[in-house]
Structure 1
Amino acid sequence: MRAALAILPVILSAPALAQSVVVSSAPVSTSVTVYRDMGRGDGAMNPGWLNGYALISEKRRISLPAGESVVRFEGVADGMIAVSAVVSGLPGGVSEKNRDARLLTPASLLDGSLGNRVHIRRTNPATGKVSEGDAIIRSGSGGAVVLQTQEGVEALRCSGLPEALVYDAVPEGLSAKPTFSVHTNSPSATTAEVTLTYLATGFDWSAAYVATVAEDGKTLDLSAWLTVANGNGADYRGTQLLAVAGKPNQTSDFRALGAKPEALSLALQCWPMDGTSTYPAWGVQPSPAPAPPPMAAGMYDGSEEVIVTAMKRSESLQASPVAVTAQQEDLGDLKLYRVPVPVDVVPNGQKQVALIGKANVPFERLYTRTMNPWDSEDEGPLEVTLRMQNKVKEGLGVPLPAGGVVITQRQNDEDMLVGESRLDDKAVAERVELDVGESEQVRFEQKTLSVDESARRVRITLTNALPSQAKVELRVPRFSNYRLNASPKPVPDGADSIVSVVIPANGSKKIDLTFSAR
């Protein structure tokens, strides 16, 4: 019987010998081009839920035997979209592609060995001696593992002492890393440089801006960082990093196509052997857990790594002091940002590279309000808006990708935070506006003067408590069945009309608006 069992694996493996398996454990070089999550708009990225994607290109050096073989590309992205994969450079071409979706975990190792003989290493509760014996796995990883040993049938790890299973081999089909495989037929034995290109989910990128207002309140310095997030377990060391701005058309459900490999978890449960103090369900409440240490109580839990490329400090951004800055290129109607040096994009982490640096950009400070003419009474502070023109002669003149903006004010050579804002994609020559927040120094009051069949008359009172004048813009929605009359004269702006007025320092002004029926 033992002789027959020894010969059986040889017989079963004979057909497999006709087809060699070639393993490529890691790429020689990579290129990662990241596309943003279009559904996010100008909102912030969520590191735990990245809905962007990336085009990944990997160059690998592979030694191929003559004849048929299976080439396994290990370490591909978790969110790989297998149907998008293209393999070039194989002398015999590709006859079949497979995404190996089962990862090697304690649970999958256990399930793959169901019904097979393994070794169990355990501690004798009486003597403390560690011994090893044979066992057969009789159940899977769902809650409890049942073993059959020469002593009988029992559950794993229910003795309260250390127990471990030792496997002779890894079951077929399990991969320690996400793996993509292809079948090829090489005319001769050779070493080939192969390129694997594919789309993968679990990436995103955004711009992070800092706008520092000068002490005179007339200009600001605008800098931006390209922030790339990698939600995959794949590690891209020394990669060529690129990011695409714009809105390329996407009709496929990438998240469904790029489902991550199956990684079963192992959670063993046994009948409780402790006292009633361990299990609140038995009527005794446990003592409260101690408070976490200061580091654990903070927002950062160590689950992701953030790497920031170093930036030299200088008094003038105009002098381009940044050691590494992403270079802008045209990609059809899209914008491409290329990092000129190899960088590391780590698993489940973020990477930041300098993107923009502009100094002494002139801006206009406005106090704005979108009014509702049907409110009989209303009052409150006006919103502060910093307006710039994205033109070269105005100190900018560069495409501005969407992202968050931190706004600071320089005061006695210190930068003080005054607000945060969001910025949508802005092309060259477009108007750029940053919302800083509300000002209690510049306020408005709205009252309805009269209403009849022909017109509605509203009075707006604006007050300015600042020691300098304040320019106010009232945004009034336009209605097809009403005509707006006011002094100063309203100016059309999209679906609204703008009424502009300058309030003197420590002064006030009244504006009467009349909505006449057409």
Structure 2
Amino acid sequence: MRRVSFLALVLCSAPVLGQDPITSAAPDRVSVSVYRAPDRGSDEAMDLDWLEGYALVTETRTVEIPAGKATIRFEGVAAGLFPESAIVTGLPAGVREKNLDADLLSPRSLYARMYGRPIILRRIVPATGVVREERAIIRSGPDGAAILQTSQGFEAVNCGGLEDDLLYPEAPKDLSARPTLSVETDSPVAQKATLSLSYLAWGFDWQSNYVIHMNPDGRTADLSAWVTLASSDSTSFADAETAVIAGEVNREDSDQGVKPAGGELVLQCAVSPVAPVPVPPPALAMPAPAPPAMEMADIVVTAQRRNDAVMNAPVTVQQEGLGDLKLYRVPVPVTVAANAQKQVALAQKVGVKMEALYRAEVWEDNVNEVRQILRTRNRKEDGLGLPLPGGPLTVFEAHGDAVLLSGEGGLPDRAVGEDVEILLSEATQVTASAEEIKADERSMTVRLTVRNARPVPVRFEARIASNSANGVKAISGGRLSRKDGRSIWATDIGPMATVSLVYAIVKSD
């Protein structure tokens, strides 16, 4: 088994495989608006190996349209295009039919599409280096052995110690090296038209990334935010007007189709019984023998590796309103590269008021883990005052002359004026436990004990909840307030200290 080298020739005398379509090789202008994955939480990181967001792509193209029926091929569209979403405006008579071409030019697709058609079989005798060329017709599909019909009968390629190459007179005109959308139109007159092509495509996503540097005073922080845009599509959009959309869009997801692909052709020197092949179309006139090898052009199929290195852009996105959504526009054209990421600054804020504390959720006498929390308000007087799209967050804190990672978490979407609470990791130096002291038919008394093993004072908050028919009453150790349907105990704990709250869960009459 070996991979066969496939060479393509474009001969002036070669027959034309069908009528010439009108091809638009690239857009004159393009804009890309990326929407977040609808089922991903706003504070969750996107999965770079499986991007589930989508993009709205709008292209402007100039096309020479002939009179009568014609096929217009838009090359270089997104491979993840939803064909049913494509809208083409500017055609004199509208669109009769549209299709996303599923095959890309590759050794495998070229061999499959040339079934029953004439090619040139080039053979090299390894012992002598002698090169022989003869006409042949492909009589098998791309899986298994390559069966050709020559003047000597039927034979398999690369069997019998010979080195074989297949030479093609030309590639089918509807087989493109790039993802292509084709539309059928019928124009009453020939004319030059400026067309607008808009469509949705899957395989995109974006998120906000936040970095917080806590200041030595422990009450303020410097915040930097970035928009990270990612594409798993095989098409690049150069100099695109780019924007990202925050918020939930009421959209019914279509099934993600199979992206156009080509593939390698691996042939085996073995023949197994197969179903009878269909009757081939009438053979075309045989092309002339191929010119010498130096004039051949190899068909090379390459794969572009994901660029994990993120490129920082020296620009900041500009916020715009879009109904209940928020649009963040990149003010300069950027390239949305294939299988790559790009970062653009979202905001830089210095001296944001930030309260660091520890919190535990308590259900009657059961305590969950203690979590680190950062709390602020999204207001100008607190150093913020801008819409905050959700995303992963990293917190750094100075420790002597070094800056160390102190926690990671996520920030949900927060509008201007809302309280912002950032849950970080589970605490290891601040712990809490609860025990039942006594109970009767009317009430249960509980002691909540909190221990601070850190050499610095900390702020602690317990959120105590019970059934809606019950009440929570503090007995000793502090006072309770109410917020969001829970009883709140907030206290300061000194270095290496322990504090307790005794409270009762009282059943209502």
Give the alignment's TM-score, normalised by structure 2. 0.83
Alignment of 1:421 onto 2:397: no
When residues 111 and 271 of structure 1 are mapped into structure 2, their CA distance, relative to the original with a 3 A threshold, is: closer
The equivalent of 2:325 in structure 1 is 334
Alignment of 1:28 onto 2:28: yes
The equivalent of 1:207 in structure 2 is 208
Root-mean-square deviation (Å): 2.7
2:465 aligned to which of 471, 477, 480: 477
Give 1:308 deviation, angstroms. 1.6
Tell me if the contact between 1:34 and 1:205 (Cα under 8 Å) persists in the aligned partners: yes
After the TM superposition, which residues 424-439 of structure 1 pair with which residues of structure 2 at under 5 Å, given as runs? 424-439=412-427
Alignment of 1:67 onto 2:58: no
The equivalent of 2:267 in structure 1 is 268
Partner deviation per Cα, 1:169-200 (whole Å, 9 max, x = no partner): 22364222111122333444332221111111
Letter in 2 for 1:34: V
Partner deviation per Cα, 1:240-275 (whole Å, 9 max, x = no partner): 000110001012x2343x542354553334469xxx
When residues 22 and 171 of structure 1 are mapped into structure 2, their CA distance, relative to the original with a 3 A threshold, is: closer
Tell me if the contact between 2:145 and 2:270 (Cα under 8 Å) persists in the aligned partners: no
Higher relative contact order (CA 8 A, sep 6+): 2
Letter in 2 for 1:30: V
Q: What CA distance in whole angstroms lies between the structure 2 residues aligned with 1:161 and 1:409?
A: 69
Q: What CA distance in whole angstroms lies between the structure 2 residues aligned with 1:305 and 1:459?
A: 51
Tell me if the contact between 2:305 and 2:339 (Cα under 8 Å) persists in the aligned partners: no
Higher helix share goes to which structure?
Answer: 1
Alignment of 1:504 onto 2:494: yes
Q: What CA distance in whole angstroms lies between the structure 2 residues aligned with 1:160 and 1:306?
A: 46
Q: What CA distance in whole angstroms lies between the structure 2 residues aligned with 1:333 and 1:106?
A: 49
Tell me if the contact between 1:115 and 1:136 (Cα under 8 Å) persists in the aligned partners: yes
The equivalent of 2:288 in structure 1 is none
Structure 2 alignment gaps of length 5 or more: 1-12, 272-303
Give 1:516 deviation, angstroms. 2.2
When residues 302 and 100 of structure 1 are mapped into structure 2, their CA distance, relative to the original with a 3 A threshold, is: closer
Letter in 2 for 1:359: V
Name which of structure 1's ranges 84-93 and 39-48 shifts more when overlaid on structure 2.
Answer: 84-93
When residues 175 and 461 of structure 1 are mapped into structure 2, their CA distance, relative to the original with a 3 A threshold, is: same
Partner deviation per Cα, 1:343-387 (whole Å, 9 max, x = no partner): 011011111111111111011111111134354xx797x321111
Q: What CA distance in whole angstroms lies between the structure 2 residues aligned with 1:109 and 1:491?
A: 74
Partner deviation per Cα, 1:113-162 (whole Å, 9 max, x = no partner): 22223222233132233433333322212233233344554433456764
Give 1:326 deviation, angstroms. 0.2
Tell me if the contact between 2:126 and 2:163 (Cα under 8 Å) persists in the aligned partners: no
Letter in 1 for 2:236: D
Aligned residue for 2:245, secondary structure, equals strand
Q: What CA distance in whole angstroms lies between the structure 1 residues aligned with 2:502 and 2:357?
A: 20
Q: What CA distance in whole angstroms lies between the structure 1 residues aligned with 2:175 and 2:157?
A: 23
Letter in 2 for 1:331: L
After the TM superposition, which residues 147-226 of structure 1 pair with which residues of structure 2 at under 5 Å, given as runs? 147-150=148-151, 152-158=153-159, 162-171=163-172, 173-226=174-227
Name which of structure 1's ranges 152-161 and 56-65 shifts more when overlaid on structure 2.
Answer: 152-161
Aligned residue for 2:260, secondary structure, equals coil
Identical-pair percentage: 42
Aligned residue for 2:82, secondary structure, equals strand
Aligned residue for 1:502, secondary structure, equals strand
Tell me if the contact between 2:231 and 2:341 (Cα under 8 Å) persists in the aligned partners: yes
Give 1:8 deviation, angstroms. 13
Partner deviation per Cα, 1:478-505 (whole Å, 9 max, x = no partner): 3124322225343333353322222233
Aligned residue for 2:141, secondary structure, equals coil
2:372 aligned to which of 384, 387, 393: 384
Partner deviation per Cα, 1:451-481 (whole Å, 9 max, x = no partner): 3333222211112233443221112233124
The equivalent of 2:44 in structure 1 is 43
After the TM superposition, which residues 98-497 of structure 1 pair with which residues of structure 2 at under 5 Å, given as runs? 98-150=99-151, 152-158=153-159, 162-171=163-172, 173-251=174-252, 253-256=253-256, 258-261=257-260, 263=262, 265-270=264-269, 302-304=305-307, 306-310=309-313, 323-375=314-366, 382-412=370-400, 414-487=402-475, 488-497=478-487
Tell me if the contact between 2:386 and 2:415 (Cα under 8 Å) persists in the aligned partners: yes
Partner deviation per Cα, 1:201-246 (whole Å, 9 max, x = no partner): 1111101111111122221111111111111111111100001100
Letter in 2 for 1:334: L
Q: What CA distance in whole angstroms lies between the structure 2 residues aligned with 1:201 and 1:65?
A: 33
Partner deviation per Cα, 1:56-96 (whole Å, 9 max, x = no partner): 11111212233332211111111111122111223343333
Give the alignment's TM-score, normalised by structure 1. 0.82
Q: How many residues align?
A: 461
Letter in 2 for 1:304: N
Q: What CA distance in whole angstroms lies between the structure 1 residues aligned with 2:261 and 2:496?
A: 67
Q: What CA distance in whole angstroms lies between the structure 2 residues aligned with 1:92 and 1:427?
A: 46
When residues 502 and 412 of structure 1 are mapped into structure 2, their CA distance, relative to the original with a 3 A threshold, is: closer
Q: What CA distance in whole angstroms lies between the structure 2 residues aligned with 1:168 and 1:302?
A: 32
Letter in 2 for 1:39: D
Q: What CA distance in whole angstroms lies between the structure 2 residues aligned with 1:459 and 1:217?
A: 30
When residues 67 and 392 of structure 1 are mapped into structure 2, their CA distance, relative to the original with a 3 A threshold, is: same
Q: What CA distance in whole angstroms lies between the structure 1 residues aligned with 2:407 and 2:269?
A: 54
Give 1:407 deviation, angstroms. 0.9
Tell me if the contact between 1:305 and 1:346 (Cα under 8 Å) persists in the aligned partners: no
Name which of structure 1's ranges 201-210 and 42-51 shifts more when overlaid on structure 2.
Answer: 42-51
Tell me if the contact between 1:379 and 1:443 (Cα under 8 Å) persists in the aligned partners: no
Q: What CA distance in whole angstroms lies between the structure 2 residues aligned with 1:34 and 1:180?
A: 20
